[in-house]
Amino acid sequence: MQTGSLGFRIVSEVAWPEPALVDRFRGLSSSNLADAMGRFRFMDPAIQARTGLPVCGVAVTVNVRPGDNLMVHKALELAQPGDVVVVSTNGNLVNAVFGEIMGHVATAAMLGGIVVDGAIRDIEALIRLELPVFSRTVSPGSCDKDGPGEINVPICCGSTVVMPGDIVVGDRDGVVVVPRGDATDALERVARILDRERQWIAAIHEGRVFAPEINATLREKRVLPEES
């Protein structure tokens, strides 16, 4: 279902992944998930954790006019507990679209967090609220509440496509976006990565400190001489 029209609309009928599937991503690192997805689907490094807390939840996407946060306010109302509001400000870096008052709203609504490709403010207050918040910049400037804007449409956040219903996982390393239809495959791949890492770490502690394949690759590329 859609209300409004192109450029100023709210899409309310979105296929959401099962909560049990989303829960399986909690505690997974953004780095391992990015590797599992072919080293794609991670936001650029400017999108940083501002409160130091990890985030994991389903994306409610918001597309706003630069310098306006009307639809961010509405997205906080429409999002369900645990959801992550993901915002594209279309390049605006100075007008904060999220701050302390909205942080209280998000906390009261038990949302999972917010990711903003743009500016936020009131960092100390958001830390006290213990709300996972990620953003590109921090700025004291505020913004308008006039629109236009869109909710639950495809957006670009941190140079990454985010669809409503995708699974968002973020930590101190950054934010990854798992497409809803690829979630099970990503979990299977990350499980294999974690198993390899456990084996590698165990080998290090057993005395096999350096990976033999490094020298093998260097010999193949003729940086090191062949073994006699």
Residues whose CB falls within 8 Å of the CB of residue 104, separated by 6 or more in sequence, listed in order: 129
Q: What is the pLDDT of residue 49?
A: 98
Using one digit for the tens of pLDDT, what is the confidence trace for 71-80? 999 999 999 9
51 part of a folded domain: yes
Q: How confident is the model at residue 210 (pLDDT cuts 50, 70, 90)?
A: confident
Q: What is the pLDDT of residue 200?
A: 86
Does position 126 have pLDDT exceeding 90, yes or no? Answer: yes
Query: Which CATH number fits the domain that encloses residue 62?
Result: 3.50.30.40
Please state the rounded mean pLDDT for residues 200-213: 86
Does position 228 have pLDDT exceeding 70, yes or no? Answer: no
Please state the rounded mean pLDDT for residues 86-112: 98
Using one digit for the tens of pLDDT, what is the confidence trace for 138-197? 999 999 999 999 999 999 999 999 999 999 999 999 999 999 999 999 999 999 999 998
Q: What is the pTM of this model?
A: 0.92
Residues 127-153: b if buried by 16+ CB within 10 A, e if exposed: eebebbbbbbbebeeebeeebbbbbbb
Using one digit for the tens of pLDDT, what is the confidence trace for 17-68? 999 999 999 999 999 999 999 999 999 999 999 999 999 999 999 999 999 9
194 part of a folded domain: no
Q: Which domain holds residue 97?
A: 2-179
199 part of a folded domain: no
125 part of a folded domain: yes
Q: How confident is the model at residue 211 (pLDDT cuts 50, 70, 90)?
A: confident
Only one residue has tokens 């219903």, namely 165
196 part of a folded domain: no
Q: Do the Cβ atoms of 191 and 175 come closer than 8 Å?
A: no
83 part of a folded domain: yes
% the chain with pLDDT above 70? 100
Please state the rounded mean pLDDT for residues 117-145: 97
213 part of a folded domain: no
Query: 209 vs 26, which has greater pLDDT?
Result: 26
Tokens representing 121 are 């403010």
14 part of a folded domain: yes
Which of 37-51, 129-143, 208-222 has the least mean pLDDT? Answer: 208-222
What's the number of domains the chain is made of? 1
